[in-house]
Chain A
Amino acid sequence: MRSQIQQAIEVQQIDWERVVRQVRQVVGRLLLYAVLVAGGILMAMPFLWMLSASLKPTNLIGVVPIVWIPPKIVWTHYIDPWAVLPFLTFYRNTIVITFANVVCILLTTSMVAFAFARIPFWGRDVHFLILLATMMLPGQVTLIPTYLLWSKLRAVNTFWPLMVPEWLSAAFDVFLFRQFYMTISPELDDSARIDGCGWFGIYSRILLPLCKPALGVLAIMNFSYNWNNFFDPLIYLNDPQRFTIALGLLYFRVRGGAGAETQDIGGLMAMTIVSMIPVLIVFFIAQRRFIQGIVITGIKG
């Protein structure tokens, strides 16, 4: 009897320490979640504001304090702009450029990176150093002669200047993809070579099928880059029939070049949301693989 009580007291004493520790832990967790949730709300607020503005009558947008949920949801902002400007054409143009670029980039980048990762050709290390160095090059340095080149080729106002340079692979992509190849054991190549595989066979039949995660990362990165690209279309395209969606949005904002800013803020917000949807869909579908890919490829100096 007595020893039981003693035991209980002892247990209780130990429990007290544990309780303090647990309380501390719980409070820490609560604080952590409070900070995360508050931060998350701050991050998401701009998007919520945009969504709200796109769904309410324009006269409610400038109201103080903010009317988050309008008394009656208005869908006209999502419908009317399509008749004002050729948004369908803007989307078609953007889709053509983005799709062609992503496909070609996957092909060329995986080939160039393969050579840097696997083929011991003369001058490889020097070429790789040069490639790394060009990553630090601001695009403006080559901008003006490149523009001159395209205008001499009479290709201004076509999609070629937005596509061909992309197809020739980009240093950052090659670097990323090469890092991924390096994680695959070279013993695979050796056994394939003994069995008579040439370099192209090793690339296309052995390594490429193993690179699906890296191809996925590259596809998403370049999809969103090309979809969102603004500077190059701004420079090379000036016929509204050839505008991409990024330019189209701006064009809509100045009311088709009429000068003054549009008063249709709701429509502008709605069309901005619509323009973001493809990137968001791709991101959500591929989120898992995308984040895995970043972890796998890593950034190791």
Chain B
Amino acid sequence: MDRGALRRGVVARGVARRSYLSPQARNNVAGYLFILPWLIKLLFLIAGAMLASLGVSFLETDFLTKFNFVGLRNYTKMFEDPLFWQSLKVTAFYTFGTVPLAIVFALSIALLLNQKVAALGVARTVYYLPSIVSGVAISILWTYLLNPRYGLVNQGLAMLGIEGPKWIYSTTWAVPSFILMGVWAAGGNMLLYLAGLQGIPTALYEAAKIDGANAWHCFWRITIPMLTPTIYFNLIMNIIGSWQVFTQSYIMTSGGPNNATLTMVLFLFRKGFQQFHFGYAAAIAWVVFAIVMVFTLLVIRSSEAWVYYAGELRR
């Protein structure tokens, strides 16, 4: 306890001030004053902006000359737009590829690093590093790493006697390239798993050993269940992040080749900020939102079946 801080507080304030407000009223005033920045953001930049966004999605507008009400036409137009379906396909492919692989990768690294290894700091840094570097730097770097002729990846594969594909220049391999990059940068989650692993009481393993459990049992019956809250949190965050993938396709491929990497947010960006169909772009944003919501709710609804909180009895 920081006694100095305590004493300073006491000396500075002296005796309690008298107030005409009841204690609850004072709490209310103080509470709302303290959360004022968040309230402003919630009212204007979140709730207000969402309502406005819904409104804009019913308009045909470039925000300058025309504001025409078109009802649901932006949405119906979207569902007839092959580019929209392409972007949906690309983004779904990326999400379903990256999310599970990133979780398995980050979890495996965390399990390895949890074996009381020497030079833990160095190892942790090496695996964590890619996740703190900016998306722009990573995208620029990988553009050259994935160069079919002289890039690092294909030269490494050539050493193994494999002729590498054309990666971001091939319609088949462009999205897998992004998945590869996503897994490489998944070390950020590793720290959370490591923290989770270190929070598992050793008594559980000792008790299991006395009962004759081997390492395999311990892993599936103790480690994984105890980690499910962390996995759950990462799963939701990764799903939300993956559906918004943008930087790679904007910088590395401009959505190509032949729209093979046209992600939903890139599609939105083009419609809104390059072609000035802001109404259409807002409608796309709502579809992205709906998709993210559906998947998040699916995970949340399923969580009761597989997420285990220590100290909570199974119903």
Interface set of A (CB-CB < 8 Å, partner B): 32-33, 35-36, 39-40, 43-47, 49-50, 53, 61-66, 108, 111-112, 114-116, 119-122, 124, 127, 130-131, 134, 136-149, 151, 165, 167-169, 174, 185, 188, 191-192, 195-203, 205-206, 209-210, 224, 227-228, 230-231, 234-235, 246, 249-250, 253, 265, 268-269, 272, 275-276, 279-280, 283-284, 287, 291, 294-295, 298-301
User: Is residue B124 contacting chain A, with contact meaning CB distance below 8 A?
Assistant: yes
Cα-based distance from A197 to B34 in the complex (angstroms): 16
Q: Is the CB of A195 within 8 A of B112?
A: no
Q: A121-B27, A142-B53, A275-B137 are in contact. Are A62 and B150 (CB under 8 A)?
A: yes
Contact with A136, one of B124, B236, B309 (Cβ below 8 angstroms)? B236
Say yes or no: is B292 at the interface (Cβ < 8 Å to chain A): yes
- For the complex, give the distance between the alpha carbons of A114 and B31 in Å: 9
A47: chain B residues within 8 A (beta carbon): 129
In the complex, 6 of the A-B residue pairs with CB atoms within 8 angstroms, ordered by the A residue number, are A35-B112, A53-B144, A64-B155, A253-B140, A275-B136, A298-B199
Known contacts being A142-B53, A146-B45, is A46 close to B141, with CB within 8 Å?
Answer: yes
Chain B residues with CB below 8 A from A148, complex form: 52, 56, 63, 278
List the A side residues contacting B191 at CB < 8 Å.
291, 294
Interface residues as binary, B266-300 with A (CB distance below 8 Å gives 1, 0 otherwise): 00100011000010011011101100110010000
Could you give, for residues 172-187 of chain B, a 1 whenever the CB lies within 8 Å of some chain A CB and a 0 otherwise? 0000000000001001
Q: Which residue of B lies closest to A249 (CB)?
A: B136
| B217-271 contacts to A (CB < 8 Å) | 229-230, 232-233, 236, 240, 243-244, 246-247, 250-251, 265, 268
Interface residue B160 (Cβ < 8 Å from any Cβ of A)? no
Q: How many residues of B contact A (CB 8 A)?
A: 102
B198 x A127 contact (CB < 8 A): no
* A contacts with B: majority SS: helix
Whole-angstrom distance between the Cβ of B197 and the nearest chain A Cβ: 10
Q: A116-B35, A206-B6, A231-B247 are in contact. Are A49 and B309 (CB under 8 A)?
A: no
Residues of chain A with a CB closer than 8 A to B152's CB: 45-46, 49, 66
Q: Is the CB of A228 within 8 A of B133?
A: yes
Q: Which residues of B have CB within 8 Å of A235?
A: 273
Describe B's contact surface by its main secondary structure.
helix
Task: Let me know if A43 and B129 touch, CB within 8 A.
Answer: yes
B162 at the interface (CB under 8 A from A): no
The digit string for B125-150, where 1 denotes a CB below 8 A from any CB of A, is 11101101111110011101100011
Asked if B13 is at the interface of the complex by the 8 Å CB criterion, the answer is yes
Q: Contact check, A230 vs B282: say whether CB atoms are below 8 A apart.
A: no
Additional 8 contacts, C-beta under 8 A, given A145-B282, A149-B44: A119-B31, A122-B31, A136-B236, A146-B45, A249-B140, A272-B140, A294-B192, A299-B230
- A140 engages B132 (CB within 8 Å): no
Minimum CB–CB distance from B146 to chain A (whole Å) comes to 10
B127 touches A201 (CB 8 A): no
By a CB distance below 8 angstroms, the chain A residues around B125 are 284, 287
- The answer to whether A206 touches B9, judged by C-beta atoms less than 8 angstroms apart, is yes
- What is the minimal beta-carbon distance from A113 to any residue of chain B, in angstroms? 9
A198 to B292, CA, bound (A): 42
> 3 smallest A-B Cβ distances: which pairs?
A121-B31, A228-B134, A115-B34
Flag the segment in B77-85, B95-103, B115-123 that touches A. Answer: B115-123
Verify A141–B286 contact, CB threshold 8 A.
Answer: yes
Q: Which residues from B are CB-within-8-Å of A143?
A: 53, 272, 285
Beta-carbon contact of B285 and A144 below 8 Å: yes
Q: Which residue of A lies closest to B48 (CB)?
A: A145
